Structure 1
């Protein structure tokens, strides 16, 4: 059932976008706050919405309320983010980083109110924890997502878990008159990124491919021995194979390298996020679990093969197929206890909260399917025949 507030918001929308209704643009906007303070893949999904805001409000400053790594990534990087304000760690917002000094949310909001935000957008989940932060910024207009138990905003749409993340945020920014300009996330690679990647990796002597076998949630990890089979096959095809990972994924990367049985190049913690973007931009293909680096590779224009659990396929896999191949596991029950986990594979999602197991939900994805997709993307298309002379 639609609440009266949401009904009012819908009446204000005009059907003028390819993705649906668009609300009235807010006049005299000089500064926009956007709350999105979580992981890398979450940021990549947000980029088209930020581009829509930039197109709708070209003179406004767009300020991302994010984490320290957001500030580092967007420093001197062209794109829709002008500045990052680091939001303090808080439940449902973000976890504290290593050696990060404590900071009170009340102090942050008091300082942020002095910024004079005209628009504040909540693009950080259902809003139970995040909508009060948006309200505390003191902006003239608030907008964004709202789950059933979350406080309202001036303009909002219902948060429903099973929706593609890119479309979710594009619908939210449309509330403030920012229609979609693209559905394809794109992140600029800078000269500094390329210099860093070249210093770490050297100049390629043959085409490179990268494998990323990690993921924060171990249920999204394809087994290392499967990645090793792909590494072995692609090395046999003549490619230089990189295996990327974070320091927390060292053991997983080591397992892939050991099982591959052929020379591959592990890259664990050797590159900054910008350097990793340049690394992927220089690859012919990236094969990865459904995790941030997979979406980063797509955002810098590199073809990808992604291994997905079916629920995450709905929310995160690109619908484009010229350069991308998502391979899905259709497992819906925990491989250990058999509990139905279809509402989501995250601990806070209804339906799997009683399951303590973190065994892979994607182990059944066949190597041959991933390898066929990889080779298809690595095979150049036939040349276009010349047009006949009239």
Structure 2
């Protein structure tokens, strides 16, 4: 009979996106290191697979966009679930660990694993799963308490004897990506003796976006008044957002009659929106002094490479703050917090809108003072 102690071929399931996969990596490490011959396959979404390839503890990745995940688009041509179960059966896994946030139901994933004849199946679950899980951890969240997402998953695998003292997020930045970004920074004229701040103003959920006009005030202050260098990042679809922020910065200086300084100072903020692969974004964050971002994937990439973060934290979920790095989490407390909504149900966005640009600048300066102002060329 298979036991977790002897299981060597393990399927880990995390069907969410980049940040969720990264916050699961300490638990995956604990599973991997608990057996000398253990092999880890991650079943994850199309979005999650981009970062999974950079995680050393993961041996193989299977892409699966599950229809029971919120971010999955309606299917046109897809592999039915029974075909996925047949494929997983062919890989002869000894056990499956299903990682979820407490608002997700693990039972669809458990059922696929059951159909795949995976003998050991572990997950948090609120309701009795009966035969779908061989190892059921009754979910205590949110009724009894709420944990950080990283700790939640570490606690889950701890129930089967998988533990680790190394609880950092796991991500390896390829040397090729570092070289590419090094070259980009040189061509942009980045001065290694001055702070380099990455600003990521986008987010998939509207409820997690700090207002662009306030991002503009933050960046203008950092560049024009404090002599810092700023690089904007984002996806292709966020190019107009960043262009709008840049126009606001330039307009503010024109109004303030600072146009004489503008030509020199404007060279200190640049956009790499839509220009970087994920590995290159990780390299940029590793080479930077600080990240200022909405609470989205780059926050967790920065945490994984050890770069401090100012996290503009919409109070949609309390579990996803930066893990194990110097950081400042900025928000305005509101009665409607922890709504778990992608669109503000109250329509006022006050948990972010009432965060002042001054507080963001002050948080950035505090972290740069603690962590050093020079560009950190880590290898």
TM-score (ref. length: structure 1): 0.79
Q: CA deviation at 1:255?
A: 2.1
Where does residue 120 of structure 1 map in the other structure? 96
SS at match of 2:157: helix
Would the aligned equivalents of 2:286 and 2:307 in 1 still touch at CA under 8 Å?
Answer: yes
1:61/1:198 Cα in 2 relative to 1: closer, same or farther (>3 Å)? same
How far does residue 324 in structure 1 lie from its aligned partner after superposition? 1.2
Is residue 181 from structure 1 mapped to residue 186 from structure 2 by the alignment?
no
Aligned partner (choices 242, 245, 251) of residue 256 of structure 1: 245
Partners of 1:142 and 1:281 in 2: CA distance: 36
Aligned residue pair count:
342
Displacement of 1:73: 3.7
Partner of 2:36: 58
Mapped partners of 2:242, 2:169: distance in 1: 27
> CA separation in 2, counterparts of 1:280 and 1:85?
27
Say if 2:195 is the partner of 1:191. no
Mapped partners of 2:230, 2:281: distance in 1: 15
- 1:142 alignment counterpart: 121
Tell me, which stretches of 5 or more residues in structure 1 are unaligned? 1-23, 334-341, 383-390
Q: Which of 289, 293, 296 lines up with 2:298 in the alignment? A: 293
Cα deviation for residue 233 of structure 1 reads: 1.7
The residue that corresponds to 2:255 in the other structure is none
Distance 1:93 1:116 in 2: 29
Cα pair 1:45 1:166 within 8 Å, conserved:
yes
The SS at the match of 1:47 is helix
Q: 1:329 corresponds to which residue?
A: 332
Alignment of 1:360-375 (within 5 A): 361-375=351-365
The CA deviation string for residues 103-144 of structure 1, in whole angstroms up to 9 with x for no partner, is: 222111101111111110110333143222232332221101
Determine the structure 2 residue equivalent to 1:205.
191
Displacement of 1:250 in angstroms is 2.4
Return the alpha-carbon distance in structure 1 between the equivalents of residues 231 and 105 of structure 2: 37
Match of 1:172 in 2: 156
1:105 partnered with 2:105: no
State whether residues 223 and 363 of structure 1, in contact with CA within 8 Å, keep that contact through their aligned partners in structure 2: yes
How far apart are residue 356 of structure 1 and its match?
Answer: 7.9
Q: Counterpart in 2 of 1:218?
A: 206
Rounded to whole Å, the distance in 2 between the matches of 1:362 and 1:301 is 25
CA distance in 2, matches of 1:167, 1:51: 13
Cα 1:137–1:285 change in 2 (3 A) is same
For the pair 1:317 / 2:354, whether they are aligned, the reply is: no
Give the CA deviation at 1:362. 0.9
Give 3-state SS (helix, strand or coil) of 1:379's partner: helix
Task: Please name the residue that 1:269 is paired with.
Answer: 274
Structure 1 distance, partners of 2:348, 2:28, is 34
Kindly state the Cα deviation for residue 213 of structure 1 after the two structures are TM-superposed.
0.8
CA separation of 1:145 and 1:72: change in aligned 2, threshold 3 A:
same
Select which of 58, 64, 69 maps to 1:87.
64
In the alignment, is the contact (CA less than 8 A) between 1:93 and 1:129 conserved in 2? no
Question: Mean Cα displacement is larger for which, 26-35 or 113-122?
Answer: 26-35
The structural deviation recorded for 1:60 is 1.0
Q: Which of 156, 159, 175 does residue 136 from structure 2 map onto?
A: 156
Query: Partner of 2:260 in structure 1?
Result: none
Measure, in 2, the Cα distance between the counterparts of 1:229 and 1:212. Answer: 14
Cα distance change, pair 361–217 in 1 and its aligned pair in 2 (3 A):
farther
- 1:16 equivalent in structure 2: none
Question: Does 2:347 align with 1:344?
Answer: no
| Mapped partners of 2:211, 2:238: distance in 1 | 13
Q: Secondary structure at the match of 1:252?
A: helix
- Residue 84 of structure 2 aligns to a residue whose secondary structure is helix
TM-fit CA distance, 1:88:
4.2
- Which gives a bigger RCO, structure 1 or 2 (Cα 8 Å, sep 6+)? 2
